[in-house]
Amino acid sequence: MEFTVLTAARSGETLGARWNEIDLAAKVWTVPADRMKAHREHRVPLSTRGLAILREMQTVLHRNDDNAYVFPGRKPSRPLSNMAFLMLLRRMDLDDLTVHGFRATFKTWASERTSFQNEIAEAALAHVIGDKVEQAYRRGDLFEKRRRLMQQWATFCNTAPPQESPSNVTPLHAS
């Protein structure tokens, strides 16, 4: 689930991730168009922590199959269940949260706590930006700007809240 939060991905995108979509050297995850809501390929810049999670998964899996799932289910030929995240939140007594809600949290954080343009956060969420005319002229995907945004997001997610924070704040990752 942490990887999903750090990449601002939809659950299904993460659950369906395969190793042949990941380029650790380039620090990018390329989600194919057929798994994207907008039916367009989406390049996801990977933060330092996101890369660490992938490296942990490599050591756990001991597998050299490029087509294998990054987060396999009980059977290596099947992805992790879409109930896995929901059950994790329940076990953490956080049943009032949803994984998809972290995308809204990301957008709110980007809007209120950073100076990144709205288009960069929207591109990070893989949303279609602008009307048809603007889309026709938009040739890039703001990748390098998104890379900086996603690293800042990962830093934010993995930084303990100040001592005066409410007691109901749960850190995403315990150090």
- Active-site residue, from 10, 18, 27, 145: 10
Q: With CA atoms as reference, report the closest residue to 22 among 9, 38, 81.
A: 9
- Active-site residue, from 37, 63, 90, 113: 37
Question: Does the active-site annotation cover 127?
Answer: yes
Question: Does the active-site annotation cover 10?
Answer: yes
- Active-site residue, from 55, 78, 113, 127: 127
- Active-site residue, from 63, 78, 90, 100: 100
- Active-site residue, from 39, 75, 137, 139: 137
How many whole angstroms separate alpha carbon 20 and alpha carbon 35? 14
> CB under 8 Å to 55, separation ≥6 — which residues?
24
Q: With CA atoms as reference, report the closest residue to 19 among 56, 60, 49, 63.
A: 63
- Active-site residue, from 103, 145, 146, 147: 103
**Catalytically annotated residues:** 10, 37, 100, 103, 127, 137
